Amino acid sequence: MTESSRLSRATDALRESTSLNDRAHNTRARILTTVRDKRVRRQRVLGALVVFACVSVGSTAWAAVTGYLPRALRAIGLPVRVDSAEPSSVESSENARRRPRFKRVHEVPVAEPPTNAMPEGIEPVEAIAPPAATAPRPNVSERPRPIVEPPTPVDAPTAVEQPLPSASRSRPDRADVIYELAHQAHFATHNFEEALPLWDAYLRDAPNGRFVPEAEYNRALCLVRLGRRADATVALERIASRANGYRAREAQQILDALRPATP
Amino acid sequence: MSATLDETDVAAASPNAEAELISRVKEGDSDALGHMYDQHHAQVRAFATRLVGDPHAAEDLVHDVFVALPKAMRRYRGDSSLRSFLMGVTVNHARHHQRAAARRRRTWEAFAEAEFVSANASSGDADPIRARQLAELHRALDQLPEAQRVAFVVCDVEGQTSSEAAVILDVPEGTVRTRLFHARSTLREILGDGGER
């Protein structure tokens, strides 16, 4: 038997072999069942997707209309761009007073301290003297409204509660309001006697708040401005040893500027 | 061996009827799919059996081919016969079943030679010599690369020309001839050793 004839015979056998048809009917039924099941599964998935899409769109639209959308986006870690610090026309005046102006709160702690609070503190040593030589009283004269009685930090919460009764509803909102008031007193009206207890109140109210680093730093600046060098040194040393980035550097610079004047 | 035509085939043999049936299958019409199965299942099953060498795997392959047909039909442009198109779909779905059939054959061989021959005799051949020839050829085909195996079955077993096989397999005709050449020479070498490797 030659090799080619062996292959040829085997090929002929394969070509002429018949296959069983007794399962043909069962296979037909199996095929149609599978196709039907796939169609049903596809329709179910499509239906679920449609429902999910409707719920997502509807809830997003509701959140946008009621003003909860920025908070919801922040809760899931998405950045929120606020075009204006002013509340939208949809919000009531009460909601506007209660809600802190996050854009200013975010920006100013980063941008303003180096320029607004520190130029005279870092450059010449005598720039530190102004907080001692120049009494903070001129700032007092510029005080727009007597919101806080500076000597007693305990008053700060009271001062907060007076203009904004709604601030007492929830602690996170209250802390944000305190922060905003402290920020205004510190950077807008330069009333450091008023700002210091407000920074203390924020740090007491929200020890784990988002703006604790800024509040601690600004509090230290208030102490410098008010001539309380010892307290300022303690606060700045804590910041310089714990913080990262520009705060630590600037705290160290202020400490270096303070030390030669310290006996 | 091709399936004999029956009345269903004759009635549906007109081009218009076939085109309408194809259109309905593309749309997902279950009745149309059933009709198409009735018309072509024998041919597809015969080709599948020769391709994978195992009737059980071939039955599963037939199932997969017709389940995939409504989606596969969207690619059918009518430039080849429907039979060739079905063979192409069968080849595309055959890989998994070929491997399963080859595993099954190796298992049978490890168990007993006689049982393996009798198991393959379920293909309908009562002749033990022919059954042994089939068994040897399937063992030899298992040793070929899949592309060569498919080229051999499509051309030498199914009787397709190399140009027709090129359409079925969606490869150039030269590629088909090359694969066929290597398949034949390898099979001769294997069978020349008495089927032992």
Question: What is the interface pTM, i.e. ipTM, of the complex?
Answer: 0.75
B29 in contact with A at a CB cutoff of 8 Å?
no
pLDDT at residue A201 in the model = 94
The answer to whether residues B67 and A35 touch, using CB atoms and an 8 Å cutoff, is yes
Closest to B66 (Cβ–Cβ): which among A21, A31, A36? A31
| A chain contacts of residue B73, beta-carbon cutoff 8 Å | none
Residue B129: pLDDT over 60: yes
Identify the residue among B141, B143, B157 best suited for mutation to test binding to A, counting A beta carbons within 10 A and taking the highest: B157
Nearest CA of chain A to the CA of B34: how many Å?
Answer: 7
The answer to whether residues B185 and A4 touch, using CB atoms and an 8 Å cutoff, is no
B46 in contact with A at a CB cutoff of 8 Å?
yes
| B chain contacts of residue A28, beta-carbon cutoff 8 Å | 34, 37-38, 41
d(CA A46, CA A37): 14
The answer to whether residues A36 and B140 touch, using CB atoms and an 8 Å cutoff, is no
d(CA A188, CA A2): 106
Task: Give the mean model confidence (pLDDT) for residues B26-50.
Answer: 92
d(CA A248, CA A217): 9
Among A226, A32, A249, CA closest to A137: A226
| A chain contacts of residue B28, beta-carbon cutoff 8 Å | 35, 39
Residue A17: pLDDT over 90: no
| A82 φψ region: left (φ > 0), alpha (ψ -120 to 50), beta (else) | beta
Chain-chain contact of A15 with B50 (C-beta, under 8 angstroms)? yes
pLDDT at residue A131 in the model = 41
d(CA B59, CA B100): 12
pLDDT at residue B38 in the model = 92
> Confidence band (pLDDT; 50, 70, 90) for A166?
very low
| A chain contacts of residue B126, beta-carbon cutoff 8 Å | none
Task: Give the mean model confidence (pLDDT) for residues B100-119.
Answer: 66
* Six-digit token string for B107: 């298992």
